[in-house]
Chains A and B, each alone.
Chain A
Amino acid sequence: MTKLPRWADVVLVPLICLLIAFVFCGLLIAAIGQNPWVALTSMIQGSLGTQSGWGYTLFYATNFLLTGLGVSIAFHASLFNIGGEGQATLGGLGVAVACLFIPWPHWSLALLGSITLSALFGALWALIPAWLQAKRGSHIVITTMMFNFIAYALISYLLVNVLRPEGAMDPATARFDKAFNLPKLADIFGVMGIPFSKAPPANIMLFVALALAVATWALLWHTRLGYAIRAFGKQEKAAVYAGISPVRITLYALLLSGGISGLMAVNAVQGGAHRLVMNSVEGAGFIGIAVALMGRNHPFGIVLASLLFGFLFQGGAQLAMASDPVTGEQLKIPREVITVLQALVILFTGALPYMVQRPLEKLFARGGR
């Protein structure tokens, strides 16, 4: 069997998958009687056309970068953690605890505190599924999925009965102290003398997430633990023969995965809403799966894929408000088109890679002769 050249496998295959997904969504938009080209241009205008659009795109991309990194670490150990949603929900609880109950003297300390607690809570939420996988062989996909539901129930209970301030109607915590607000991109760029829109919530967590992407890369390819995780994921028996403990690696990989997913809440809760609300994760845990698959499980690819999904998420939100530039009529395209696109990206990159790879292999074999 011929192998694809590396660049084709790494770059071409995800791009073709993305193209198929885009074409399908274009056809879907055409099928409901709308113009796909207008939809695409208004998405680009809404997400990349203005500073504020960019800001939101980067804000969402930060969420997806963190959950994507979380999913990918588990993937490297051949573990499919679909509990990012629940782990990030619990991470939100960690942020709320840090910001509501501890009187930090400065936002930077509050940031450190909420990073620590959100990662801790996220990791703890992955602990039981991880332990069940490592010790009992219960499938991680099933258990993490169930822990998502348990997390919703837990947070809903806490927000309604415990954390809701007296007299408030909606199930949410009180607003965090203004002093704990994270510096926005506008503040950071302002120091450098670059003007930037103050509206979007994109904040310092963008740089924390990027640093974490580098750290993840270093961990996976330049440390003993990273080597053990990858070896365990590639060939469990060989890894065990080489003295790698499957129980320990399963636990480490999933705790790291849950912890990083939990960090997402610092961006969304402390950076965005400034209080913990129901559904603070907004599906970012699931989008992380698409991001990790699309980015081929490599931190660099995941950075690019999270930008792509940040663009799609923000563009999709704009889609609901956009109007036709020629007729001025309101476009009637629900933002859930993006959910379909996300599903197709997951389907083609994660479940049907052979469908794209095989014809490509034939093509390259013919071209190589």
Chain B
Amino acid sequence: MDLTAILQILESTIRMSTPLLFACLAGLYSERAGVIDMGLEGKMLAAAFAGAAAAAVTGSAAAGVLAGIGAALILSAIHGLASITFRGNQLISGVAINFFASGLTIVLGASWFGQGGQTPALSEGRLAQTPLLDLFGIEDSPLLELFLGHGTLVYVALAAVPFTWWLLYRTRFGLRLRAVGENPAAVDTAGVSVAQLRYAAVGITAVLCGLAGVYMSMGLNTSFQREMTAGRGYIALAALIFAKWKPVPALGACLLFGFLDAISIRFQNIDLNGIGIPVVIPGQFTNALPFILTVIILAGFVGKAIPPRAGGEPYVKER
């Protein structure tokens, strides 16, 4: 494997990690506030569809992004209603939202565009691919391209990591958000509304899921295809556990899982004979590796992953 190939894989890693990072941070806000979100996948899918559909109709990428975030917000509102207001089962609500998005995107897509659930290919409505390189007028070099050659959303996702860290650990809102995920009764006693905080968290989750979705259908691809998120919402959830619900490790986990994604796109099977090991790693193994690694982490063999304590429990005020 030559240098160009390595650079290409690394570049692809950054691109494949971006939707994972958005979705993983999305899950982080929700779960740190005590609302488990199995519905990341569904929200991404709905946003990917709404974004590509709106951009195809209007020809405007901005309209697409807004529509994508809007779709994710609607699904998040349902999840919030079920898990905060009506104190239902958060896990079941998330699973239901995934099916809902999976079915609805195909039904609407097939009847609006008549292409079996696909949206028309975008030309002008695509997310702008103005790499920083062009912006500064720097000449192309493969190495610079790796760091500066991506679309805007890639840098938004990367910037969201330190921003999330700052918000969670250095602001009053962040302190309350973490508290409401660990001990909502204490937050309530301090006179802060548990429901409001959780709705705020679920709202942030929706915006980030929206960005993850539109990046997939309008940045990585030029149209929406049925089931195009292909389990990435679940991989993001795995990354969140892998990162133990912390923003900076989340970046590492998403880069690792994005790298696996990039590898499996480039190679069907990985032949290690070239470096003297008589083993061929099948592509299916690479695909399953994020989940296998997370199960190992969950098993507690490599440092225990402890979720926020109040996760999954609806808060009931004492009377």
Q: Which residues of A contact B (CB under 8 A)?
A: 28, 32-34, 80, 82, 128, 132, 136, 138-139, 141-143, 145-147, 149-150, 152-154, 156-157, 160-161, 286, 289, 293, 332-334, 336-344, 346-347, 350-355
The reply to whether A286 and B99 contact each other, CB–CB distance below 8 Å, is yes
The reply to whether A153 and B287 contact each other, CB–CB distance below 8 Å, is yes
The reply to whether A80 and B92 contact each other, CB–CB distance below 8 Å, is yes
Instruction: Kindly list chain A residues whose C-beta atoms are within 8 Å of the C-beta of B102.
Output: 336, 339, 343
User: CA–CA, A185 to B87, complex, Å?
Assistant: 45
The reply to whether A32 and B111 contact each other, CB–CB distance below 8 Å, is yes
Q: Interface readout for B97-108 with A: 1 if CB under 8 Å, 0 if not? A: 111101110111
The reply to whether A343 and B285 contact each other, CB–CB distance below 8 Å, is no
Q: Interface readout for B79-102 with A: 1 if CB under 8 Å, 0 if not? A: 001110011111111011111101
The reply to whether A143 and B93 contact each other, CB–CB distance below 8 Å, is no
B294, closest chain A residue (CB): A146
Instruction: List 5 interface pairs A-B (beta carbons < 8 Å), by A numbering.
Output: A147-B291, A286-B99, A333-B107, A347-B100, A350-B88
Q: Is the interface of A mostly helix, strand, loop or mixed?
A: helix
Which of A153, A293, A338, A342 contacts B92 (CB under 8 A)? A293
Known contacts A150-B292, A153-B284; is A343 also within 8 Å of B103 by CB?
yes
Instruction: Kindly list chain B residues whose C-beta atoms are within 8 Å of the C-beta of A143.
Output: 295, 298
Q: A339-B99, A346-B92 are in contact. List 19 more A-B contacts (CB 8 A).
A: A138-B298, A138-B305, A139-B307, A145-B234, A146-B291, A149-B231, A149-B234, A286-B99, A289-B92, A336-B117, A337-B107, A346-B96, A346-B99, A351-B89, A351-B90, A352-B81, A353-B88, A355-B86, A355-B88
Which of A142, A150, A337 contacts B288 (CB under 8 A)? A150
The reply to whether A33 and B87 contact each other, CB–CB distance below 8 Å, is no
Instruction: Kindly list chain B residues whose C-beta atoms are within 8 Å of the C-beta of A336.
Output: 102-104, 106-107, 110, 117
The reply to whether A342 and B103 contact each other, CB–CB distance below 8 Å, is yes
User: CA–CA, A342 to B106, complex, Å?
Assistant: 14
B311, closest chain A residue (CB): A139
Instruction: Kindly list chain A residues whose C-beta atoms are within 8 Å of the C-beta of B284.
Output: 153-154, 156-157, 160
Say whether B78 faces chain A, with CB atoms less than 8 Å apart. yes
Q: How far is the CB of A91 from chain B (nearest CB, A)?
A: 19
Q: How far is the CB of B234 from chain A (nearest CB, A)?
A: 6
Q: Which residues of B contact A (CB under 8 A)?
A: 38, 78, 81-83, 86-93, 95-100, 102-104, 106-108, 110-112, 117, 231, 234, 237-238, 241, 282, 284-285, 287-288, 291-292, 294-295, 298-300, 304-305, 307, 312
B237, closest chain A residue (CB): A142
Closest 8 CB pairs of A and B: A339-B103, A343-B99, A350-B92, A351-B93, A153-B288, A343-B100, A347-B96, A32-B111
The reply to whether B78 and A347 contact each other, CB–CB distance below 8 Å, is yes
The reply to whether A33 and B38 contact each other, CB–CB distance below 8 Å, is no
User: CA–CA, A268 to B194, complex, Å?
Assistant: 47
User: CA–CA, A350 to B238, complex, Å?
Assistant: 24
User: CA–CA, A334 to B288, complex, Å?
Assistant: 31
User: CA–CA, A333 to B111, complex, Å?
Assistant: 8
The reply to whether A132 and B91 contact each other, CB–CB distance below 8 Å, is no
The reply to whether B103 and A289 contact each other, CB–CB distance below 8 Å, is no
Instruction: Kindly list chain B residues whose C-beta atoms are within 8 Å of the C-beta of A145.
Output: 38, 234, 237
Q: How far is the CB of A173 from chain B (nearest CB, A)?
A: 17
User: CA–CA, A80 to B282, complex, Å?
Assistant: 32
Known contacts A157-B285, A332-B111; is A351 also within 8 Å of B99 by CB?
no
A354, closest chain B residue (CB): B86
The reply to whether B103 and A338 contact each other, CB–CB distance below 8 Å, is yes
The reply to whether B95 and A334 contact each other, CB–CB distance below 8 Å, is no
User: CA–CA, A354 to B97, complex, Å?
Assistant: 18
Chain A CB count within 10 A is highest, among B78, B238, B288, B305, for B288
Instruction: Kindly list chain B residues whose C-beta atoms are within 8 Å of the C-beta of A32.
Output: 107-108, 111-112
Chain B CB count within 10 A is highest, among A152, A161, A346, for A346
Instruction: Kindly list chain A residues whose C-beta atoms are within 8 Å of the C-beta of B83.
Output: 351
The reply to whether B96 and A351 contact each other, CB–CB distance below 8 Å, is yes
Instruction: Kindly list chain B residues whose C-beta atoms are within 8 Å of the C-beta of A353.
Output: 88
Chain A CB count within 10 A is highest, among B83, B86, B291, for B291
B105, closest chain A residue (CB): A336
User: CA–CA, A340 to B292, complex, Å?
Assistant: 31
The reply to whether A334 and B295 contact each other, CB–CB distance below 8 Å, is no
Q: How far is the CB of A61 from chain B (nearest CB, A)?
A: 19
Chain B CB count within 10 A is highest, among A28, A82, A340, for A340
Q: How far is the CB of A161 from chain B (nearest CB, A)?
A: 7
Instruction: Kindly list chain B residues whose C-beta atoms are within 8 Å of the C-beta of A289.
Output: 92, 95
The reply to whether B299 and A337 contact each other, CB–CB distance below 8 Å, is no
Q: How far is the CB of B29 from chain A (nearest CB, A)?
A: 18
Q: How far is the CB of B18 from chain A (nearest CB, A)?
A: 21
A29, closest chain B residue (CB): B107
User: CA–CA, A128 to B292, complex, Å?
Assistant: 12
Q: How far is the CB of A21 from chain B (nearest CB, A)?
A: 11
The reply to whether A334 and B107 contact each other, CB–CB distance below 8 Å, is yes
Q: How far is the CB of A203 from chain B (nearest CB, A)?
A: 28
The reply to whether B282 and A161 contact each other, CB–CB distance below 8 Å, is yes
The reply to whether B97 and A347 contact each other, CB–CB distance below 8 Å, is yes
The reply to whether A347 and B82 contact each other, CB–CB distance below 8 Å, is yes
User: CA–CA, A78 to B287, complex, Å?
Assistant: 31
Instruction: Kindly list chain A residues whose C-beta atoms are within 8 Å of the C-beta of B300.
Output: 136, 138
Q: How far is the CB of A151 from chain B (nearest CB, A)?
A: 9
Q: How far is the CB of A325 from chain B (nearest CB, A)?
A: 20
